[in-house]
Amino acid sequence: MYAARIVGTVVCTTKDEKLNGRKLLVVQPVSLLDLKEEGKPAVAIDTVGAGVSEIVLVVGGSSARQTHLTQNSPVDAAIMAIVDYIDIEGRRVFDKHK
């Protein structure tokens, strides 16, 4: 599982039927310590109604197929949570509402 910022969307008019009606988002991994970009962006299926610029938690590999919306689907990354806040060593490093 890793933290990422939603930076874009992907639209595919032709895709596997198990993905019909599913939103695909571009996620940019970020460091939990300072939310700076870390690594390469990826495409993840949205299972929680996330939006652009939100910080989310992403799972990959077989774990991405464990949500209600992704079971038995051809996905390798799934957004499974929207982050409200992050505290590290007693310091709030992210707060969605500020």
pTM above 0.85, yes or no: yes
What fold characterizes domain 2-95?
OB fold (Dihydrolipoamide Acetyltransferase, E2P) (2.40.50)
Q: Which residue has the tokens 């992907």?
A: 10
Q: Which stretches of 1-98 are assigned E, i.e. beta strand?
A: 2-10, 24-29, 42-46, 55-60, 77-82, 85-88, 91-95
Closest CA to 8 of 46, 57, 60: 46
CA dihedral for 28, 64, 92, 50, sign (positive or negative): positive
> Which amino acid does the sequence have at 81?
A
Render pLDDT for 33-66 as a digit per residue (tens, 0 to 9).
Answer: 999 999 999 999 999 999 999 999 999 998 999 8
Q: How sure is the predictor about 2, in pLDDT bands with cuts at 50, 70 and 90? A: very high
Q: What is the pLDDT of residue 69?
A: 86
Dihedral sign for Cα atoms in the order 25, 26, 31, 33: negative
